Homo-oligomer: A and B are copies of this chain.
């Protein structure tokens, strides 16, 4: 990575830079389910440790079977990878695209992966005056100029906006008529109110030009374990398996299919937390002077600093010294150094965040007035 801090969640670097113990960092820069590790995780790992002496199943067949049941989709439509990252790279490596259209601001790994395969990127600007929501009519008018793929992150990172299924179905129809492939990253879909009901999984049966990226990372709070998957046509998925590095999914990750079957209670609690907390957190943030808060539709929220005299870099470092890591969103395409992104966590943490944030904003505002 050329940029040393392109993403949230690097508590290792932050701990060194700001001189705080990793264990005392409240990490609002990574968007992970605050319910933490599911109950059955430790058991699954404990019962899989002895199996580390064997190579992982290169085709992760047990895992594919569980995903197949969970989403009611054929096993031959599933590819499994080392996090969503490998799925993104593998997709570009397999499909040989020329030019991909990306609504932005969005997750920067798509662009990095595309550049690695010499794929041209055409950015479509999500506008602040539209609250960064995807304007489908405006997007369709951009789907020309040799674009052969459209990449949507839904819900989108960092804007926390979710597009409606009808809108995406319209895009899929238009794209198919024009020979355009559509990739949808649903890494956060289970962290929206409605969960898989907001997913485009069912459309796979109808659209061969659709590929969906998913992950265990966010919803089961296991970014450390590396487990993502992709859903697409049999032909595409077969080609991707052929291109794939063998054994890239470790055998502990391969065992995580059980979570889908055993953790329905965890998923229910996640949904309940999400419904209560996103609304509450949004309202509380709105009470803090000097901020513009964009309404979140998943477990993080984009915020704009309205006060002159300091920026997202300053706010991030001031809060980091107080033990809270937030995401400076200034390096996202079409955003600037007035934007930060916050995770949404459990109530107790959120209360602390709100207090530290409002205190820090007040200090910085006072400082900037004295200048």
A-side residues, CB < 8 A to B, are: 1-2, 7, 9-12, 27, 30, 32, 36-37, 41-42, 45, 48-59, 61, 82-83, 85-86, 89, 93, 109, 116, 221-226, 241-248, 250-253
Q: How far is the CB of A84 from chain B (nearest CB, A)?
A: 10
Q: How far is the CB of A291 from chain B (nearest CB, A)?
A: 27
Known: A83-B247, A246-B109, A251-B224. A49 touches B42 (CB 8 A): yes
Residues from chain B with Cβ under 8 Å of A58 in the complex = 1, 10
Q: Are B37 and A52 in contact (CB under 8 A)?
A: yes
Complex CA distance for A226 and B248, rounded to whole angstroms: 7
Q: Are A245 and B86 in contact (CB under 8 A)?
A: yes
Residues from chain B with Cβ under 8 Å of A89 in the complex = 245
Q: Are B82 and A53 in contact (CB under 8 A)?
A: no
Q: Are B252 and A7 in contact (CB under 8 A)?
A: no
Residues from chain B with Cβ under 8 Å of A61 in the complex = 12
Q: Are A10 and B248 in contact (CB under 8 A)?
A: no
Q: Are A55 and B247 in contact (CB under 8 A)?
A: no
Contacting residue for A250 out of B36, B42, B225, CB 8 A: B225
Look across to chain B and name the residue whose beta carbon is closest to the beta carbon of A7. Answer: B246
Q: Are A56 and B224 in contact (CB under 8 A)?
A: yes
**Given A11-B55, A12-B57, 6 other A-B residues pairs in contact with their CB atoms under 8 A:** A1-B241, A41-B49, A52-B222, A53-B224, A56-B226, A85-B247
Q: How far is the CB of A352 from chain B (nearest CB, A)?
A: 18
Residues from chain B with Cβ under 8 Å of A30 in the complex = 54-55
Q: Are A245 and B37 in contact (CB under 8 A)?
A: no
Look across to chain B and name the residue whose beta carbon is closest to the beta carbon of A57. Answer: B12
Q: Are A41 and B37 in contact (CB under 8 A)?
A: no
Contacting residue for A52 out of B12, B54, B83, B224, CB 8 A: B224
Contacting residue for A246 out of B27, B85, B116, B225, CB 8 A: B85
Residues from chain B with Cβ under 8 Å of A225 in the complex = 52, 250-252
Complex CA distance for A59 and B56, rounded to whole angstroms: 24
Look across to chain B and name the residue whose beta carbon is closest to the beta carbon of A243. Answer: B116
Q: Are A224 and B55 in contact (CB under 8 A)?
A: yes
Q: Are B245 and A53 in contact (CB under 8 A)?
A: no
Q: Are B242 and A54 in contact (CB under 8 A)?
A: no
Complex CA distance for A56 and B241, rounded to whole angstroms: 25
Look across to chain B and name the residue whose beta carbon is closest to the beta carbon of A223. Answer: B55
Q: Are A244 and B52 in contact (CB under 8 A)?
A: no
Q: Are A10 and B109 in contact (CB under 8 A)?
A: no
Contacting residue for A50 out of B37, B48, B116, CB 8 A: B37
Look across to chain B and name the residue whose beta carbon is closest to the beta carbon of A4. Answer: B59
Residues from chain B with Cβ under 8 Å of A245 in the complex = 82, 85-86, 89
Q: Are A242 and B2 in contact (CB under 8 A)?
A: yes
Q: Are A223 and B242 in contact (CB under 8 A)?
A: no
